[in-house]
Chains A and B, each alone.
Chain A
Amino acid sequence: DAMVIQNPRYQVTQFGKPVTLSCSQTLNHNVMYWYQQKSSQAPKLLFHYYDKDFNNEADTPDNFQSRRPNTSFCFLDIRSPGLGDAAMYLCATSTPGSNEQYFGPGTRLTVT
């Protein structure tokens, strides 16, 4: 089945140790998104790619970066994780003009 896959589902990292979260899709969608969802809060958009064009939200910290080497994969890099970066990170995809976003199951990041 076509889907959005996130690996790993659970990630533990140490304070200040760089970590990379992975997202892949078999939907061949042009647009990929990364959302951060802290405990008991709404998901918040960090950035998105439209094909290879990267679009950062204005309030996304510099500590967060992303790479999209091809249509299928997108990575979220956290350069120096702080305790406040512990959250669920959700990847989603869509096609331009579509009214639907397809979400992956998320990666729960713990920072120790």
Chain B
Amino acid sequence: GEDVEQSLFLSVREGDSSVINCTYTDSSSTYLYWYKQEPGAGLQLLTYIFSNMDMKQDQRLTVLLNKKDKHLSLRIADTQTGDSAIYFCAETYGGATNKLIFGTGTLLAVQP
């Protein structure tokens, strides 16, 4: 199967920027996603990027995609304590049914 890897843990201070990184292996993925999961909760789609784009900005979120290196990142500007959660990147496979392979998840801890 395909592996999607992330660093396990990131700690930042409130107000700083956070950058969460992800490497994936399936170059045929059409879309790449970032999901947020708070403790005991389901997955919340934060943003996604189409594979022919290099960058996408959505309010405090900036997604960068380097297809050559199969590297995806999520930058959160002005990080708040409410951003503390686990962040998963995901890539698609399976054609029209849009199945997802998730990364290992990064725990973001925001210190006040």
Interface residues of A (CB under 8 A from B): 6, 31, 33, 40-45, 48, 50, 55, 90, 92, 94, 96-106, 108
Contacting pair A42 B42 (CB below 8 A) = no
List the B side residues contacting A48 at CB < 8 Å. 97, 99
Q: Quick one: given A42-B104, A43-B88, are A98 and B42 in contact (CB under 8 Å)?
A: no
B101 → chain A closest CB, angstroms: 8
Report whether A96 and B96 are in contact in the complex, using a CB–CB cutoff of 8 Å: yes
Contact of B97 among A31, A99, A100, A103 (CB under 8 A): A31
A9 (CB) vs chain B CBs: closest residue: B40
Given contacts A97-B96, A99-B31, contact A106 B41 (CB under 8 A): yes
Interface residues of B in 79-112 (CB under 8 A from A): 88, 92, 96-105
Q: Do the beta carbons of A106 and B42 come within 8 Å of each other?
A: yes
Distance in angstroms from B49 CB to nearest chain A CB is: 10
Q: Which residue of B lies closest to A94 (CB)?
A: B98
B11 CB–A CB distance under 8 Å: no
User: Smallest distance from the beta carbon of A27 to chain B beta carbons, Å?
Assistant: 14
